[in-house]
Amino acid sequence: MKRLVFTLTLIGLVWNVAAVDPRLYYLRPDGLQPGTEQEIYFRAARAKDVEDVLFYHPGVKVVKINEADDNGFKAIIKAEADCPLGEHKVRLRTRGGLSELRTFYVGPFPTLREVAPKEGEGPQKVALNTTISGAVANESVDRFVVDVKQGQRISVEVECIRLGRYFDDASVAIKNSKGFIVARSDDTPLFIQDCFATAVAKEDDTYTVELRESSYGRLRAYRMHIGTFPRPTAVYPAGGQEGEEVDVKFIDKAAGDFTQKFKAAKPVSFQATFGQQSQPSFRDIAAFPQADGVIAPSGNKVRVSPFPNVLEEEPNNSVGEARLSDTPLPVAFNGIIGQPGDQDWFRFTAKKGQRYDVRVYARKLRSPIDSVIYICNKDGRSLASNDDSGGPDSYISWTVPADGEYTLRVRDHLNNGGSDYTYRVEFQPREAKLSLYVPDTARYNTQTRKNVVVARGNRFPLILQARRTSFGGELALSPQDFPPGITMHAAHMASNKTQLTAVFEAATDAPIGGGLGNITGKLVGENAADISGGIWQNFDLVQNGNRGVYYKTWVDKIGVAVVEELPFKIRIEEPKAP
C-alpha cells in the first residue's frame, strides 16, 4: 500500500493554521419562525470577510449579509413556510476558513426579546403563543405574565441545554394570580435537563411563568415558548414504516389523549439510523402534535424504519396470552407498559439461521421506560435476554436456532409503568453498514479540524475514520459535492484498517469558495457487494469534562472550503521502499 508522509515547509514566520478560521459564538435571536425573514446577529470573530452562512438543512437561507465588524455581523435570514421545525445547524465561511458548527431553532411562534422590568414595574406581559429569547442572571428568576381563559391550555417549553452551548439546568413553574403552582418541572424524560409545564386553566386568570436555574445559578441563554399548544409526553406507536401514513396517539396527561396522522417520510441518512444509544435513531424525525391549529415547538421523537408495525393487544401479560403475529419478520413490535407491573408478550414465527439485531427504541425516543427484553421459545422459556446493551434500551443479537414459533417478553427494569411508557422492538435483519467520520483531535474538543479547508495552491491532510458493521474489505473513498478546484488524494482503506489520512489539494487558481459536501466510502474488489456510506459526524456540543456528553448533534455533511494562500506549503513525500 502507498504510504504518504506530509512535510510542512514554513516560509517566514511560524503560522498557526487554526488562526485563520473564523469563530462563531452564537446567533441572536437563536431562532426564527417559518415563513418569515429575520435579522440575526452572528456574534463571531475573524468574520469581517464573511462570504457565506452555510445551513445543513433545507428551508433556511441567507437573504443578505450586512456590514461586519470585529465582533460579528448581521444578516437577514429567511425560513421558508415549509421549513422543518426543530434544531438547525449552521457554519460561517470566510475567505480564511470555516467556523465551528452552531445550532439554532426554527419554531412555530414569533420571537420576542426578554425585557428586564424596571424598578417598581411588574413582570413583562406576553401574548399567548410567543417565544421569548433571553438569559437568567445568577440567583435570579425571570417572570412573564400571560392572560388565559378558563378551559384554555397553557403550556410552557424551554430550550436551554438543547441550544447546545452551556451545561445550564432550567426549571419552570406556572402560577395563578393567587400564587399557587398550577404546573412545574425541572428535568423531564422528554427533554433531558430542559423542562416543560402544562395545564388546562381552571379559571380566567393572569398566570405568571417563572423560569430559573435549577439551583438558582444562571441560565446563560434560553428560548421559552408560552402558548396554548398541546404538550403530550409520548406518541404511540412511536414510529412507522417508511412512506406509510400512521395513525398515532399522543399521550397527553394534562388535557387527554388525541390522535393525528403521521407521514413516515424516508429518512435521508438511513443507514446511520440503526445507531447505538448515543446516536439519534433517525435524523430529526419527530411527530409534532397539533391542537386547535397550534403546533408544539418540540416534536415527540419517532423512529422510521423499513419494517411494518405490529401493535400489542392487551391482555398479553403471560406467554399463554401472547397472540401470534400474522406479519412475518422483520417487524417492529410496539407497546406501552401501561401500568406498574405490566408486561407484554408477543408471539411470532421465525426461520432457522435468520440473524437479527433485536433493538429496543424507547429511551432513545425519550420514553421513561428502562426496558428489559427476553426472546423465549413458544412456551415462554427464555433463550436470550438483555437489559441495557443499547444504553437503557435493550439489544440482543439473535440467530434463530430452528424453524418455529417464538415469543418476545417486554417489561420495565423496575416494574414501573404508565400511560407514556411506550416502546418499540425492531427485529432488524443483520446487514452491512458503513459510515465515515473525522475523529476528535483532542479530548473534550469536538469542533477543531472537522472540515476540509485548503489554501489555494496548497494541501490539507485530514484523518478519516470508518465505522463498519458486519463486513470486511477494502474501501475506496471519494469526495461528493466538493467546490471546484479541490482534488482528493487517498489510498484505499485496507480491510484491516479503520483509519486513513486523506490529502486534499487546491489548484493555484481554484476559486475562493466552499460549502457542505460529503466523502463516501465504497467496498471495492472482485465481486464486492454494493456497500457504501458517507459522513455521519457527531458534535458533542454540551459536555461536562469526564462526566460525559449531555447534548450532541449529528450531521451527514462535511464543510469544505478553498481559502486564500498561506505563507507555507504542505509537501507530500512518498517514502521509497527500502
How open is the CA angle 301-307-312, to the nearest 5 degrees? 75
* Contact partners, residue 417, CB within 8 Å, separation at least 6: 337, 338, 339, 340, 341, 342, 369
* Neighbour-count burial for 301-331, b at 16+ CB within 10 Å, e otherwise: bbbbbebebbebeeebeebeebeebeeebbb
Least CB distance to Ca ion at residue 128 (A): 24
338 binds Ca ion (CB under 5 A): yes
Least CB distance to Ca ion at residue 415 (A): 12
193 binds Ca ion (CB under 5 A): yes
Closest by alpha carbon to 163, among 565, 553, 528, 573? Answer: 553
* Contact partners, residue 133, CB within 8 Å, separation at least 6: 28, 29, 30, 31, 111, 112, 113, 114, 221, 222, 223
Of 344, 357, 426, 540, the one binding Ca ion (CB under 5 A) is: 344
* Contact partners, residue 540, CB within 8 Å, separation at least 6: 446, 549, 552
Which range binds Ca ion by CB under 5 A, 22-30, 210-218, 514-522, 533-541? 210-218
317 binds Ca ion (CB under 5 A): yes
Least CB distance to Ca ion at residue 320 (A): 12
* Contact partners, residue 217, CB within 8 Å, separation at least 6: 138, 139, 168, 169
Residue 224's DSSP bridge partners are 132, 158
Least CB distance to Ca ion at residue 256 (A): 20
Which range binds Ca ion by CB under 5 A, 34-42, 79-87, 368-376, 524-532? 368-376
Q: How far apart are the first and last CA of the chain?
A: 14
Least CB distance to Ca ion at residue 213 (A): 8
What number of helices (H) and strands (E) belong to the chain?
A: 0, 49
Q: How many chain residues touch Ca ion (CB under 5 A)? A: 17
Which range binds Ca ion by CB under 5 A, 183-191, 257-265, 298-306, 525-533? 183-191
Least CB distance to Ca ion at residue 211 (A): 10
Cβ proximity to Ca ion, 342 vs 420, nearer residue: 342
How open is the CA angle 158-162-166, to the nearest 5 degrees? 105
Of 51, 52, 80, 187, the one binding Ca ion (CB under 5 A) is: 187
* Neighbour-count burial for 261-271, b at 16+ CB within 10 Å, e otherwise: ebebeebebeb
Least CB distance to Ca ion at residue 181 (A): 16
HSE-CB for 550 with a 13 A CA cutoff? 21
Joined together, the cell numbers standing for residue 387 give: 437489559
Which range binds Ca ion by CB under 5 A, 118-126, 291-299, 313-321, 396-404? 313-321
Of 72, 96, 335, 533, the one binding Ca ion (CB under 5 A) is: 335
358 sits in which H/E element: strand 355-361
Joined together, the cell numbers standing for residue 472 give: 470486511
227 binds Ca ion (CB under 5 A): no
Q: Compute the distance between CA of residue 500 and CA of residue 491 in angstroms, rounded to an integer.
A: 8
Which range binds Ca ion by CB under 5 A, 82-90, 161-169, 504-512, 517-525? 161-169
The contact pattern for Ca ion, residues 41-80, with x = CB under 5 A and - = no contact, is ----------------------------------------
Of 21, 159, 169, 474, the one binding Ca ion (CB under 5 A) is: 169
Which range binds Ca ion by CB under 5 A, 31-39, 178-186, 219-227, 236-244? 178-186
- DSSP per-residue letters across 112-125: EE--PPPTT--PEE
Cβ proximity to Ca ion, 252 vs 370, nearer residue: 370
Considering only residues 381 to 400 of the shown chain, the ones binding Ca ion according to CB under 5 A are 387-388, 392
Of 39, 186, 431, 505, the one binding Ca ion (CB under 5 A) is: 186
Least CB distance to Ca ion at residue 158 (A): 8
Least CB distance to Ca ion at residue 446 (A): 23
Q: Compute the distance between CA of residue 198 and CA of residue 524 in angstroms, rounded to an integer.
A: 55
Closest by alpha carbon to 69, among 51, 44, 99? Answer: 44
Which range binds Ca ion by CB under 5 A, 24-32, 47-55, 314-322, 458-466? 314-322
Which range binds Ca ion by CB under 5 A, 63-71, 188-196, 441-449, 478-486? 188-196
Cβ proximity to Ca ion, 337 vs 436, nearer residue: 337
Cβ proximity to Ca ion, 132 vs 452, nearer residue: 132
Longest pairwise C-alpha distance within the chain: 87
Cβ proximity to Ca ion, 21 vs 344, nearer residue: 344
Of 30, 100, 157, 342, the one binding Ca ion (CB under 5 A) is: 342
Q: Compute the distance between CA of residue 252 and CA of residue 230 in angstroms, rounded to an integer.
A: 8
Least CB distance to Ca ion at residue 317 (A): 5
HSE-CB for 3 with a 13 A CA cutoff? 5
Least CB distance to Ca ion at residue 391 (A): 8
Give residue for cell 441567507: 62
Binding residues for Ca ion, rule: CB under 5 A, are 169, 186-187, 193, 195, 214, 316-317, 335, 338, 342, 344, 370-371, 387-388, 392
